Structure 1
């Protein structure tokens, strides 16, 4: 989730609707300026007894963050607590229960993305060795109850933890027990954004299936392959889901603004502190009628904060976020941006990818999204066949898109090699969660603690 810092003196008050549309419009970039931003989270545990370390304990989360200074990272504080580290490779920040996230820098190609990922994992592994800490690349804690997990000292999390049980049954699980890989991508125009948004939403269940990696809850199989994805279906209906309006003929920046104005608020950030505005209306805020800040109108930073509090399968800010994948090990982190860059950053590939899904009805899209957490690649798709069949076609298209980009490394290799791990999943028909379940029932003999041998 976003790491907020106090804004500068230049933070204009929102006086017109144009200012609400501006973040999306200002995200437009010519193709040669498109970048790739990759975010990935990992579960952190103490190697001696596998507990999730607290913020303050010796060798815990704070100590790990501060240890990153030796690699050139600088602390970001909130309320006197270090909550993130900033550096050339982006931001290392904390999720609510101490999941460690790298929000990577915007990069030109996938070779750079994988190099960035490698640097980050080398750094945290080195620190982890000294602190007695290991990392799990999964979509959800395989054995921890909510009560066993620590809470990180970030003001927005305190507000969200109070609010989540009011609007869904699994929101606390989303915050405390899950991890994801996410890709942030650019667009050149409103029309380009619309096509990428629609294609990304329709194919998001494919990413969920290929990266399904959360089959355990509290030490036992939970009946799902991506329980993380299922959790989102009962988190908060006001700010999650497949966004049917994106497929309407009049969809564009204005319609997304309308959607965000209907999303209830979480908070307002003032003087370095979060003020609880959960459930209140941003529309009232625009009129100066927000009860927790009477008479005040929102600034552009307030609107940007609000844009970060919706969690649909694809999210729009000044770029598009692909949000459907479970967390995973290093070997799969680079595969997710490879999939989406291949599908969306070449016009021929984007056209072909949209052709795969353009005739699906909204009901069919919803049915597929709802089937994937349990069935993954075996989920039926509109017109017959399974998602595995769509996956074969999508990977061919992605490969063609990456080939057309022709972004080479120093050895003369293009970016298509990053798809190989997904090719293997499609060829076998087994997603990561199914392999974990096989191990659980055979070589692990039902002992979930064996999963800790598979840390990064």
Structure 2
């Protein structure tokens, strides 16, 4: 989740709708300047007892962050407490219960992306040795209750923790118990953004299925393959979902602004503190009628903050965020950007991918999205067959897109190798969660603690 940047000196008041559209327009870039940003979260556990460490304790989350200074990272503070580290590879930040996230730098190719991931994981492993902690690549805590998890000292998380139970039953699980991999991608124009958004949204259930990796809750199978994905179905209906309007004629920046204006607020950031505005209207804020800041109108930074508080399957800010994958190990962290870059960064591949799904009705898209958390690649697709059948076609398109990009490493390899782990999943017919369930019912003998041996 975003870490607030307080370095901007000028912060104009929003006086016109043009300022609301500006972040999306500013995201337009020529193809030569398109970049790849990869974010991934990890569960942190104490090696001796598998407990989730608190922020303050010796060897806890604060110490883990500060230990990254050894590798050139610099602290970011909120309220006098370190809540993130910044460096050449992006930002290392904290999710609500101490899940550690790398928001990677915008990079030119997948070789750089995977190298960045490798550097980060190597660094946190070294820190883990010193702090006696490990890192687990799953989509959800396999054994922890909500009450067993700590809360990190970030003001926006306190606000969200209070608000979540008002709007859904699983929002606290989203905050405290889940981990994801996410990819941020560029676009050249409003039309390019719209085609990528629609294609990404329609195919997001396939990404969820391929990366499904959260089959346990509180030590037992939960009946899902991606319980993390299921959690989003009852987190907050005002800011989640498949967004039918994206597929309507005329979708573009203006329609996204209207959507975001209808997403209820969480907070306003003033003088280094978060002011609780949960449930209030940004439209009222624009009129100077926000009750928690009477007479005050929003700044451009307030709007940027608000753009980060919607959580649909694909999100638009000044880039597109692909948000549907469970957390996982190094190979899958590299595979997710390969999947989306291959599909969306070459026009021929993008057209081919859209052709596969453009005829689906909104009802069919919703049915597929709702089936995936339990069925993954076995979920039926419109027109017959299942997601495993579709995956073969989609991965072929992604491979063609990566081949056409012709981005090579020093050994002369192109980027298609990063899809191999997904090829293996499709060939086997078993997503990561099914492999874990086989182990749980087999060699683990129902002992969920064995999952910690499969940490990073």
TM-score range, shorter chain: over 0.9
Q: Corresponding residue for 2:380?
A: 380
Alignment of 1:336-351 (within 5 A): 336-351=336-351
Q: Corresponding residue for 2:21?
A: 21
Q: Corresponding residue for 1:164?
A: 164
SS of structure 2 residue aligned to 1:311: coil
Q: Corresponding residue for 2:6?
A: 6
Task: Indicate if the aligned counterparts of 2:264 and 2:282 stay in contact, CA closer than 8 A.
Answer: yes
Task: Indicate if the aligned counterparts of 1:7 and 1:301 stay in contact, CA closer than 8 A.
Answer: no
Q: Give the whole-Å Cα distance in 2 for the aligned partners of 1:421 and 1:427.
A: 10
Q: Cα distance, 1:331 vs. partner?
A: 1.7
Q: Give the whole-Å Cα distance in 1 for the aligned partners of 2:9 and 2:377.
A: 51
Q: Corresponding residue for 1:297?
A: 297
1:39 aligns with 2:19: no
Q: Give the whole-Å Cα distance in 1 for the aligned partners of 2:249 and 2:122.
A: 47
1:97-133 C-alpha deviation (Å, 9 max, x unpaired) = 0000000000000000000000000000000011100
Q: Give the whole-Å Cα distance in 1 for the aligned partners of 2:390 and 2:438.
A: 25
Task: Indicate if the aligned counterparts of 1:211 and 1:431 stay in contact, CA closer than 8 A.
Answer: yes
Q: Corresponding residue for 1:367?
A: 367
Q: Give the whole-Å Cα distance in 2 for the aligned partners of 1:5 and 1:401.
A: 35
1:138 aligns with 2:138: yes
Alignment of 1:168-183 (within 5 A): 168-183=168-183
Q: Give the whole-Å Cα distance in 1 for the aligned partners of 2:435 and 2:408.
A: 33
TM-score, scaled to structure 2: 1.00
1:448 aligns with 2:448: yes
Q: Corresponding residue for 1:355?
A: 355
SS of structure 2 residue aligned to 1:97: coil
SS of structure 2 residue aligned to 1:443: coil
Task: Indicate if the aligned counterparts of 2:24 and 2:318 stay in contact, CA closer than 8 A.
Answer: yes
Q: Give the whole-Å Cα distance in 2 for the aligned partners of 1:324 and 1:439.
A: 25
Q: Give the whole-Å Cα distance in 2 for the aligned partners of 1:326 and 1:201.
A: 16
Q: Cα distance, 1:7 vs. partner?
A: 4.5
Q: Corresponding residue for 1:104?
A: 104
Gaps of 5+ in 1: none
Q: Cα distance, 1:8 vs. partner?
A: 2.7
Q: Cα distance, 1:5 vs. partner?
A: 3.0
Task: Indicate if the aligned counterparts of 1:27 and 1:186 stay in contact, CA closer than 8 A.
Answer: yes
Q: Cα distance, 1:6 vs. partner?
A: 2.2
1:287 aligns with 2:287: yes
Q: Give the whole-Å Cα distance in 2 for the aligned partners of 1:132 and 1:341.
A: 36
Q: Corresponding residue for 1:423?
A: 423
SS of structure 2 residue aligned to 1:206: helix
1:395 aligns with 2:359: no
CA RMSD of aligned residues (A): 0.4
Q: Cα distance, 1:9 vs. partner?
A: 2.6
Q: Corresponding residue for 1:121?
A: 121
SS of structure 1 residue aligned to 2:75: strand
Deviates more, 1:6-15 or 1:228-237: 6-15
Task: Indicate if the aligned counterparts of 2:403 and 2:415 stay in contact, CA closer than 8 A.
Answer: yes
Q: Give the whole-Å Cα distance in 1 for the aligned partners of 2:412 and 2:9.
A: 48
SS of structure 2 residue aligned to 1:240: coil
Q: Corresponding residue for 2:61?
A: 61
Task: Indicate if the aligned counterparts of 1:19 and 1:300 stay in contact, CA closer than 8 A.
Answer: yes
SS of structure 2 residue aligned to 1:236: coil
SS of structure 2 residue aligned to 1:91: strand
1:241-273 C-alpha deviation (Å, 9 max, x unpaired) = 000000000100000000000000000000000
In the TM superposition, structure 1's runs of 4+ consecutive aligned residues that sit over 6 Å from their partners are none
SS of structure 2 residue aligned to 1:233: helix
Q: Give the whole-Å Cα distance in 2 for the aligned partners of 1:343 and 1:3.
A: 29
Q: Give the whole-Å Cα distance in 2 for the aligned partners of 1:204 and 1:358.
A: 14
Q: Give the whole-Å Cα distance in 1 for the aligned partners of 2:330 and 2:219.
A: 23
Pairs aligned (count): 456
Gaps of 5+ in 2: none
Task: Indicate if the aligned counterparts of 2:181 and 2:328 stay in contact, CA closer than 8 A.
Answer: yes
Task: Indicate if the aligned counterparts of 1:5 and 1:78 stay in contact, CA closer than 8 A.
Answer: no
Q: Corresponding residue for 2:197?
A: 197
Q: Give the whole-Å Cα distance in 1 for the aligned partners of 2:429 and 2:19.
A: 47
